[in-house]
Amino acid sequence: MTQATEDLQLAPGARLELWAGGAPGTLRIRVGQRVVWQVPSFPEQPGFFSYRHMSTDRATIEWSGAGAISWAYSWHPDDVAHTGITAWDFGPDGITRRTGQEITEWMCADPDRPRIHFSPVRQWMNDPNGFCRIGDTWHLFYQFHPASRDWGPMHWGHATSKDLVHWTHLPVFLHPEQPLWPLGATGGAFSGSTFLDREGAPVIFYTERLPAYDLVEGYTEIQKRAEPGPGLLGVERTTVVLEDRPDGVVHDFRDPKVWWDQAARAYRMVLGGAIDGDPAVLLYGSDDQVSWSYLGPLYRAPAKFKAEGARAVECPDFFPLDGRWVLVMGFVGHTDPGSGRHNLLFALVGDFENDRFETDGVLQLLDFGTDFYAMQSCRAGDRQVAIAWLFNWENRKPPGSPYSGEMSLPRELSVDARGRLCMSLVDEIAEACPAQTIPGEPGGGFHLPDAPIDLSLTGSLDGTRIVATQDGDDSFVISVENGVLSVRVPCDDGEITYSAEIPGARDLRVLHDRGILEIFADNGSVCGTRRSYDNVSPDRLQVETSANLRLDAWTTGS
């Protein structure tokens, strides 16, 4: 096997972290002629390897089997918060290193990667985790599998932003407590949230799925409390805070969201699960964030959801907003019999007092497109800001991409006078991405640049039809007929319908970014999100409507 060598290019105190295995290969670092660190043979299954460089003398790195290194980066504790990681791409003859703007430019050069939606540099990403703002910095953690572009043993990735558009990629924050790949198991550091105490110090609560060999049953999930190290670059200490499940809860027991309840003068936590097979949200209380007592179900779904395949609630979010309390939850495994849509995300608006959540029981579907799941929100000043995983297992990313998974654009939440949860894009996006109006042509046509587009309609919407094409082939079709808003993308075969009723609505906003559609109607009370991997860069738009129309292109500064 051919071996390559080049200068290490690491300053004293810097760290190199990588995942490698599954094929033959070696890795060795020398200072002078002395070997100071090595992986003599890559393991049969992926493994994590970490090296801290301390020498000021010239050092070299030698490697073979570059294809077995799935993800690698270096970072220095003194400047990583500002510069981010340096991504290393090992080739047979050399290493390509990219930092900061170089990473951004490399990502934007991928014609199939969205421009303004967050995605990992490489490999698999799903649920947002620990989403919060500390000072003027937004922190986005996320479910991450560094060894593959497919789902697998879960870690927490980490990125930060000042404007919710431009992100700095940071080192992996959380690792599974056990090496799962050699066991042939799944599990690891599952989803959770960040709790900010009264001094603004962050504490992480998350689920650890112990080594598991089945994806739908027979696993054990426990809850942990993690204390971050300086700069949120890693974890200093983890504590198991909850292992025992209530009666009727078998194995789904995950995704903690913690808050301080002023009325109870105690901490509260919600978890997703199922009680005797009915999807449910479980409520817990604590005086110290460590010892937790079960207070009962906050919500238990009607029996019809179990009958329609729902196994459990995932990723519950619970928060006060505009004088009410809002519960957001996903029903994993559920398929709506009318439309064929699955894994739907719902909201309930009600009142929370004395540890009881009183609602009218009517679930609000949060996204009729369904590529909006595991939504997580946080309080930022006087706003509730949310972000979600832009994927729902229906359409897989084509082979050959360096990554899989994007996040939605961040949204500001509100409750309207009718008690509906409404979503709108945060103002930071318009501030970070100045708009340029796209002029129309006779007959309602537009020539589209290679940029994110923002289409707004106000007025009578019935009869509206919006068609985007790339080289004459459809990229997406949006229509409003008889008060029903529908969307179709090339992969749709008609078995699943993506539509929502919007009677009387007089506003419609459509965002498109290289295959991602985010649709907002009726003041954000009706939203639809779709991800398509075909014809992702439309060059023409045709709009038939009697409403007032504005079409802008967004510049990203990258």
How many CB atoms within 10 Å of residue 514?
23
Q: What angle do CA 465, 466, 470 make, to 5 degrees?
A: 140
Q: If residue 297 lies in a helix (H) or strand (E), which one and from where to where?
A: strand 293-300
Strand order of the sheet with strand 26-31?
4-7, 59-64, 26-31, 34-39
Per the listing, tokens 């969201």 go with: 257
Catalytic residue flag (residue 150): no
| HEC profile of 426-457 | CHHHHHHCCEEECCCECCCEEECCCCCEEEEE
CA distance 25 to 17: 16
Backbone angles phi, psi at 422, to 5 degrees: -115, 150
Q: If residue 509 lies in a helix (H) or strand (E), which one and from where to where?
A: strand 507-513
- The alpha-helical segments, DSSP class H, found in 99-218 are 101-108
Q: If residue 80 lies in a helix (H) or strand (E), which one and from where to where?
A: helix 80-83
Per the listing, tokens 């019935």 go with: 462
CA distance 467 to 458: 18
Q: How far is CA 76 from CA 10, 39, 283, 338, in A?
A: 9, 22, 41, 53
Residues 6+ apart with CB under 8 A from 381: none
Phi-psi domain of 474 (left: phi exceeds 0; alpha: psi -120 through 50; beta: other): beta
SS3 state at 67: helix
205 within 8 A of 195, measured Cβ to Cβ: yes
Residue 220's Cβ-side half-sphere holds a number of Cα atoms within 13 Å equal to 6
- DSSP 8-state assignment for residue 306: H
63 within 8 A of 90, measured Cβ to Cβ: yes
27 within 8 A of 62, measured Cβ to Cβ: yes
Phi-psi domain of 317 (left: phi exceeds 0; alpha: psi -120 through 50; beta: other): beta
The active-site residue, picked from 89, 127, 252, 513, is 127
How many CB atoms within 10 Å of residue 266?
14
161 within 8 A of 558, measured Cβ to Cβ: no
Residue numbers annotated as active site: 127
